[in-house]
Amino acid sequence: MIGDRVEIGACTTIDRGALDDTKIADGVIIDNQCQIAHNVSIGENTAIAGATVMAGSLKVGKQCFIGGACVFNGHMEITDNVTITGMAMVMRPITEPGMYSSGIPLQPNREWRKTAARVLKIDEMHKRLKELEHQLDKQD
């Protein structure tokens, strides 16, 4: 189901719904070379930049702005008024309006693997650093 005033760019694919309809609401803009999978629902006045991929049964809220080359897991919801910067990998639902980003600049694979492993431990490392700083402050 495609609403009024919808723009769909060249080479964009919108899959027909399998269980429920795929729904593109009024005023949505979808750029070139995007993939919208089965049963996806996109809310009013949302804009999606080129090369974005949305997996099945994703629900995107109203007035969202999605940068180019983003990737979305299926079977989850993105609330209204969300901005997602380009190259983001959205793996979990977004329940609060705001701006979200992910992705890191290109690196040689060996460096990237180390960076990715460290990023997953940043919170733990931050807590340990704060505790060490606190202990040093006590010694002064």
pLDDT at 105: 82
Confidence (pLDDT) at 104: 77
The answer to whether the beta carbons of residues 24 and 6 sit under 8 Å apart is yes
Task: For residue range 23-65, list pLDDT tens digits in order.
Answer: 999 999 999 999 999 999 999 999 999 999 999 999 999 999 9
Four-residue CA torsion sign, 7, 12, 13, 19: negative
The answer to whether domain 1-103 has CATH 1.10.260.40 is: no
According to DSSP H, which parts of 1-140 are helical?
Answer: 109-119, 122-139
Confidence (pLDDT) at 18: 87
Q: How many residues does the chain have?
A: 140
Q: Say whether pLDDT at 92 is over 80.
A: yes
Two tokens, residue 85: 């910067």
The CA distance from 66 to 85, in Å, is 6
- Catalytic (active-site) positions: 38
Cα-Cα-Cα-Cα dihedral sign, residues 131, 134, 135, 136: positive
Report d(CA 107, CA 10) in Å as an integer: 31
108-137 residue pLDDT tens: 999 999 998 998 999 999 999 999 999 999
User: Which pLDDT belongs to residue 82?
Assistant: 98
